Amino acid sequence: MRYIITYDKSGVRQQKHISQTDLQNGYQIWVDLENPTSEEISNIQETFAIDANILKQYSSGVKKPQIRVLESYIFTILLNIKFKTLQTLETEAVYLFFGTNWLITIHSSQINLKEKTQQIFENDKIVIESPIDILYYNILTIIVEEYEHVLTAIEIAMTDLEEKSLYQPSKKILVNLEGGYHIN
């Protein structure tokens, strides 16, 4: 699914297509792709001159976090981390392409950047009046904030397990200690 937003000091507009006029007139453009089709990927590649080898990282499912500074844009992979079950973490890659006046995000439909970014536009008017890099940093923050929730939950679970193992040791607790957490 493709979601296209253009904005400037006069406001935020949702578009159906990427307009060359918007690109040429200096509008800030955010393209959010959820589970994109090969046609949508080709369109983005052509419109924004994104290297095919870089896009292969998305199609190959690469999840290794990275930031690459290229000639006309910055390519970033971050992991969205959340609990699948109480003992299993699920990781989903978010691919970001950040160029002059444009930002592209590619991810699975499990990650809802659209809603969270709409809240940013509604609650922080300075973002609308700022260059696209401010939106880029806000999206990075949205993703990294989830890490804090996961780490806090792990810390609480480990503290609880530690207390039980010290004050009420049992075979079940020791097995839990040995089993730990799993990351998918």
Q: What is the pLDDT of residues 75-129, one digit of tens each?
A: 999 999 887 776 778 889 999 999 999 999 999 998 989 999 999 999 988 999 9
Q: What is the pLDDT of residue 36?
A: 95
Give percent above pLDDT 90 in the chain: 54
Q: Name residues whose C-beta falls within 8 Å of residue 9's C-beta, 6 or more positions apart in sequence.
A: 128, 129
Q: What share of the chain is helix, strand, coil (3-state, %, to 5)?
A: 45, 30, 25
Q: What is the pLDDT of residue 162?
A: 76
Q: What is the pLDDT of residue 48?
A: 93
Mean pLDDT of 43-62: 92
2-145 homologous superfamily: CorA soluble domain-like (3.30.460.20)
Picking from 170, 36, 32, the residue whose alpha carbon sits closest to that of residue 114 is 32
Beta bridge partners of 6: 13, 29
Mean pLDDT of 48-59: 92
pTM to 2 decimals?
A: 0.82
First-to-last C-alpha distance (Å) of the chain: 25
Two tokens at 116?
Answer: 């969270």
Give the integer Cα–Cα distance in Å for 59 and 42: 12
| In the chain, where the domains are located | 2-145
Beta bridge partners of 76: 67, 96
Q: What is the pLDDT of residue 85?
A: 72
Q: What is the pLDDT of residue 84?
A: 75
Q: Are the CB atoms for 107 and 94 separated by under 8 Å?
A: yes
Q: Name residues whose C-beta falls within 8 Å of residue 183's C-beta, 6 or more positions apart in sequence.
A: 88, 89, 91
Lowest-confidence segment of 63-77, 99-113, 149-163 by average pLDDT: 149-163
Q: State the average pLDDT for the chain.
A: 87
- Residue 176 confidence (pLDDT) above 70: no
Q: Are the CB atoms for 165 and 102 separated by under 8 Å?
A: no
Of the pLDDT bands very low, low, confident and very high (cuts 50, 70, 90), residue 182 is very low
